[in-house]
Chains A and B, each alone.
Chain A
Amino acid sequence: MPAAAGLAFLVLPLAGLLIRAPWSTLPERLTEPGILAALRLSLVTATIATAVCLVLGVPLAWVLARTDFPGRRLVRALVTVPLVLPPVVGGVALLLVFGRRGLLGGWLDATFGVSLPFTTAGVVLAEAFVAMPFLVISVEGALRGADSRYEEAAATLGASRWTAFRRVTLPLIAPGVLAGGVLCWARALGEFGATITFAGNFPGRTQTMPLAVYLALEQDVDAAIVLSLLLLVVSVGILAALRDKWVTA
């Protein structure tokens, strides 16, 4: 019984979304320019954020999985903080560091004339901050599961650490990296709290789908439902497409 209740609890809201959807006016609503702009912005920023997470997160995962240094456990704990941190707090923290008067933001502004808050780049930053732990943890797990002796074998054949990682380890953990990437991308796509705090809610620039949904809910419930439905379809579609190939747990 509790299992059935649990399932119902998870599925019912999604069913409600489908039932209440304004199916008759769906085509016109979907092609509204505001919706498409929000969708495009969401997809682009989530993808860039995932790329950023891959570039920074995979080496971090390697360090956590393969090296032993004092404070490694602390670093690992720090990595997982954004996972449990309320996203709004993350957004405030990002503002304090990258804001115009922030620790790094002031310097960035003065030196490069770059200001991140309330820009599309800011959206990417907020999403990457929140989503990176998913990738790091997933890749670290894959690395721990992979036999490190293959790296030793590569070394005896003359491979530097980087070559061994690129040509041996990375292909071996590819499924784990992909799974982490998908999780990371999905998390970035749904990001709300940190984004609205750090990047604001400017249509076309920083207004991603979740933000548009929230805004629409106050004015036009049907529009909010359509947007939600779209987000649901995109997420489930990506997950389904990849699950068959790679992400079979």
Chain B
Amino acid sequence: MTLDAHIFVERDNFELDVALTAEPGEVVALLGPNGAGKTTALRALAGLVENNGEIWIDGVRVDREPPEKRRIGVVFQDYLLFPHLSALDNVAFGPRCRHVPRRQAREQAKEWLSRVGLSDHVRKKPRQLSGGQAQRVALARALAAEPKLLLLDEPLAALDARTRLDTRAQLRHHLSAFPGATVLVTHDPLDALMLADRLVIVEEGRIVQTGDAATITAQPRTDYVARLVGLNLYRGRAQGGTVFLADGFPLVTAAAQEGEAFAAFPPSAVALYASRPDGSPRNTWPGTVTSVARHGDALRVEIAGAIAVAADVTPAAAVHLGLEVGREVWASVKATEVRSYRA
């Protein structure tokens, strides 16, 4: 149940060009901002939009097959449970389409519903189910059709924060039990990090970075990813322990590096001062506060200057410095906090 796909979809002024692989049992997350083409990629895999690339599952080319022949299960963002059928008949739909006798199909459906913890909701119609329950029925329905590849489109996006937490944990459990490959689409980094073995970051129809959670969070390669994982990210040319940014700004880093490189540090590593701080080989520059917003227990302060930077400060420090939009401050980052890696 290996997936090896090249997705190429052309629209009016949008081009999606993505190569995607997934091993049996592997969960791959397509992560990206809205409009990046994630859902289109999923629909192309399922055969719901025309794909000019190639899709191979277990060495068999399926991209010329209609959706019903592909054995690719989909959990849609709004689930699309058939409103006129009970939860049981929704889940039995897949087996029935494969000509499993009615009674047997219902037995299988019952088993799937009990596996997702919905034995008591077998007879209910979709409109009688809560969001979390509907999500689980949708998952059971997709799995009951015994797909070779499972696709999930923003599986948790329609749920409220609390349900989301529970459902995410359950989903993780069910995905690990699924023998085939799984591709899930999300714009929520937490979903991706929690559910996926491997992340594929898509921006504007192209893959910009792939890797496991640890690599992506430690070494983001685009502004979008850096924002997702909460890092300040810069690109420049490294010479020894300094990365020179595009406009010549020198950023002193923890370790030596040569050539094109990224430099990254967390907002919590940035210290702010009312006036120029004294001495020491640090990175220090003046700037203007452009926004102040709550961020967990701290305040996230955006500062424009020689380099744009996000800093996390305590509310007490913010009061002490009189931080507000338009305030002139000095930012400083210790060299030991700045990680550099090859671009």
Docked-complex contact B48 and A158, CB < 8 angstroms: no
CB-CB contacts below 8 Å: B54-70 with A: 66-68, 70
Residue of A nearest to B89 (CB): A167
Docked-complex contact A153 and B94, CB < 8 angstroms: no
A168 interface neighbour in B70, B82, B141, Cβ under 8 Å = B82
Q: In this assembly, does B76 line the interface, its C-beta being within 8 Å of a C-beta of chain A?
A: yes
CB-CB contacts below 8 Å: A124-172 with B: 147, 149-150, 152-160, 163, 167-168, 171-172
Docked-complex contact B93 and A154, CB < 8 angstroms: yes
Docked-complex contact B67 and A155, CB < 8 angstroms: yes
Docked-complex contact A163 and B46, CB < 8 angstroms: no
Decide: A150 near B82, CB < 8 A? Known: A157-B93, A159-B93.
Answer: yes
Docked-complex contact B67 and A152, CB < 8 angstroms: yes
CB-CB contacts below 8 Å: A187-223 with B: none
Docked-complex contact B68 and A155, CB < 8 angstroms: yes
B84 interface neighbour in A155, A157, A172, Cβ under 8 Å = A172
Docked-complex contact B98 and A158, CB < 8 angstroms: yes
For B, the interface residue count at a CB cutoff of 8 angstroms equals 23
Docked-complex contact B48 and A157, CB < 8 angstroms: no
A171-B90 Cα distance, complex, nearest whole Å? 14
Count of chain A to chain B residue pairs whose CB atoms are closer than 8 Å in the complex: 57
A86-B11 Cα distance, complex, nearest whole Å? 46
Q: In this assembly, does B157 line the interface, its C-beta being within 8 Å of a C-beta of chain A?
A: no
Chain B 264-300 interface mask (CB, 8 Å, partner A; 1/0): 0000000000000000000000000000000000000
Docked-complex contact A153 and B84, CB < 8 angstroms: no
Which of A150, A154, A155, A167: most chain B CB closer than 10 A?
Answer: A155
Docked-complex contact A159 and B97, CB < 8 angstroms: yes
Docked-complex contact A157 and B72, CB < 8 angstroms: no
List residues of chain B with CB within 8 A of the CB of A157: 68, 73, 93-94, 97, 141-142, 145
Decide: A156 near B82, CB < 8 A? Known: A149-B76, A167-B93.
Answer: no
List residues of chain A with CB within 8 A of the CB of B70: 156
A159-B90 Cα distance, complex, nearest whole Å? 12
Docked-complex contact B76 and A158, CB < 8 angstroms: no
Give the size range of A's interface with the partner.
10 to 19
Which of B67, B70, B71, B76: most chain A CB closer than 10 A?
Answer: B67
Which of A149, A152, A155, A156: most chain B CB closer than 10 A?
Answer: A156
List residues of chain A with CB within 8 A of the CB of B67: 152, 155-156
Decide: A156 near B93, CB < 8 A? Known: A149-B80, A150-B80, A172-B84.
Answer: no
B72 interface neighbour in A154, A156, A159, A160, Cβ under 8 Å = A156
Residue of B nearest to A154 (CB): B93
Chain A 47-59 interface mask (CB, 8 Å, partner B; 1/0): 0000000000000
Residue of A nearest to B72 (CB): A156
A167-B47 Cα distance, complex, nearest whole Å? 21
Chain B 73-86 interface mask (CB, 8 Å, partner A; 1/0): 11010001011100
Docked-complex contact A153 and B66, CB < 8 angstroms: no
List residues of chain A with CB within 8 A of the CB of B97: 154, 157-160, 163
List residues of chain A with CB within 8 A of the CB of B73: 156-157
List residues of chain B with CB within 8 A of the CB of A153: 74, 76, 80, 82
A162-B76 Cα distance, complex, nearest whole Å? 22
Residue of B nearest to A170 (CB): B84
Residue of A nearest to B43 (CB): A152
A172-B66 Cα distance, complex, nearest whole Å? 23
Q: Give the distance to chain A from B5, nearest Cβ to Cβ, in Å.
A: 16
Docked-complex contact A158 and B83, CB < 8 angstroms: no
Residue of A nearest to B94 (CB): A157
A171-B68 Cα distance, complex, nearest whole Å? 20
List residues of chain A with CB within 8 A of the CB of B48: 152, 155-156
Docked-complex contact B82 and A155, CB < 8 angstroms: no
List residues of chain A with CB within 8 A of the CB of B46: 152, 156
Docked-complex contact A172 and B83, CB < 8 angstroms: yes
List residues of chain B with CB within 8 A of the CB of A160: 68, 97
A158-B92 Cα distance, complex, nearest whole Å? 12
A163-B66 Cα distance, complex, nearest whole Å? 14
A145-B66 Cα distance, complex, nearest whole Å? 24
A167-B74 Cα distance, complex, nearest whole Å? 19
A158 interface neighbour in B82, B84, B94, Cβ under 8 Å = B94
A171-B85 Cα distance, complex, nearest whole Å? 9
A159-B73 Cα distance, complex, nearest whole Å? 12
Docked-complex contact A159 and B76, CB < 8 angstroms: no
Residue of A nearest to B82 (CB): A168
List residues of chain A with CB within 8 A of the CB of B72: 156
List residues of chain B with CB within 8 A of the CB of A154: 82, 93, 97
Mark A residues whose CB is within 8 Å of B. 147, 149-150, 152-160, 163, 167-168, 171-172
Query: 28 interchain pairs (CB within 8 A)?
Result: A147-B80, A149-B76, A150-B82, A153-B74, A153-B80, A154-B82, A154-B93, A155-B67, A155-B68, A156-B46, A156-B67, A156-B68, A156-B70, A156-B72, A156-B74, A156-B142, A157-B68, A157-B97, A157-B141, A158-B94, A158-B145, A159-B68, A159-B97, A167-B93, A171-B82, A171-B84, A172-B83, A172-B84
> Knowing that A152-B48, A156-B70, A158-B97 are A-B contacts, what are 10 other residue pairs whose CB atoms are under 8 Å apart, sorted by A's residue number?
A152-B46, A153-B74, A155-B66, A156-B46, A156-B67, A156-B145, A158-B71, A158-B94, A158-B98, A160-B68
Interchain residue pairs A-B with the least CB separation, the first 9: A158-B97, A155-B67, A153-B80, A157-B94, A156-B74, A171-B84, A159-B97, A155-B68, A157-B145
